[in-house]
Amino acid sequence: QQQVKQSPQSLIVQKGGISIINCAYENTAFDYFPWYQQFPGKGPALLIAIRPDVSEKKEGRFTISFNKSAKQFSLHIMDSQPGDSATYFCAARGDNYGQNFVFGPGTRLSVLP
Amino acid sequence: DAGVIQSPRHEVTEMGQEVTLRCKPISGHDYLFWYRQTMMRGLELLIYFNNNVPIDDSGMPEDRFSAKMPNASFSTLKIQPSEPRDSAVYFCASSMTQDQPQHFGDGTRLSIL
């Protein structure tokens, strides 16, 4: 019940295309859903986050869509660039678990020039 | 702003040796987390501290692992004795409060031969 499922495992997109990564969760106690971006040799860095009281949040080219009834959320990267090539992790946290984040397994994104 | 600082960046040692990983959190952050990242298991939370006190160590895999936080600016993760299956990237992260995002260091890549 604490798992967060993430797909696809890897994704190849042409420059200028849209990258879409999907996550699903089971535990309805989760109330905070961040996305992290990780470049090789670096730690994950917070990219964008959403709470379940909104269905969408946009920051620049990055958008989170949230479907509370389906317990799913997704990251959309518009106008994907080669510099976006990285591994993306969705995560979830609920008050019942204090500060314990549950991370998805990650999606390796490659944006071709 | 100095981020989370981890040392060493790389560690290669022989099985059976003691390994000590170090972390300096961001000043003013009350929470500190240790994670392990592997291809097979992804990002796993090992232990976290609040105001230097260990709150949840349920993710620590075995008694060979121990973590301390003697003061607000320093934490160690120790493995004794080390085994090849401990090879992974170990991340330290910190956050200001329960509601603030976690900031990750660049990790220690540990290889046990």
Question: What pLDDT does B97 receive?
Answer: 81
Q: What is the mean pLDDT of residues B85-104?
A: 90
**Residue numbers in chain A where pLDDT is lower than 70:** 1-2, 95-99
Pairing type for strands A62-67 and B74-79 reads unpaired
Is B43 within 8 Å of chain A by CB? yes
Q: Which of B30, B34, B38, B43 to mutate to test the interface with A (most CBs of A within 10 A)?
A: B43
Assign B58 a pLDDT band (cuts: 50, 70, 90): confident
> Residues B93, B24: contact at Cβ < 8 Å?
no
Q: Coil, strand, or helix at residue A108?
A: strand
Assign B94 a pLDDT band (cuts: 50, 70, 90): very high
Question: What pLDDT does A1 receive?
Answer: 56
Q: Which of A49, A98, A103 sits opposite B43 (nearest CB)?
A: A103
Question: What pLDDT does A96 receive?
Answer: 54
Assign B40 a pLDDT band (cuts: 50, 70, 90): confident
Question: What pLDDT does A31 receive?
Answer: 86
> Residues A89, A9: contact at Cβ < 8 Å?
no
Segment B9-26, tens digit of pLDDT: 999 999 999 999 999 999
CA A45 to chain B, closest CA, distance in angstroms equals 7
Q: What is the mean pLDDT of residues B43-49?
A: 92
Question: What pLDDT does B2 receive?
Answer: 83
Torsion sign, CA atoms A78, A84, A86, A92: negative
Residues of B whose CB is below 8 A from A46? 101-103
Number of A to B CB contacts under 8 A, please give it: 46
Is B90 within 8 Å of chain A by CB? no
Q: Which of A34, A44, A98 sits opposite B98 (nearest CB)?
A: A98
Is A41 within 8 Å of chain B by CB? yes
> Quick check: B107 pLDDT over 70?
yes
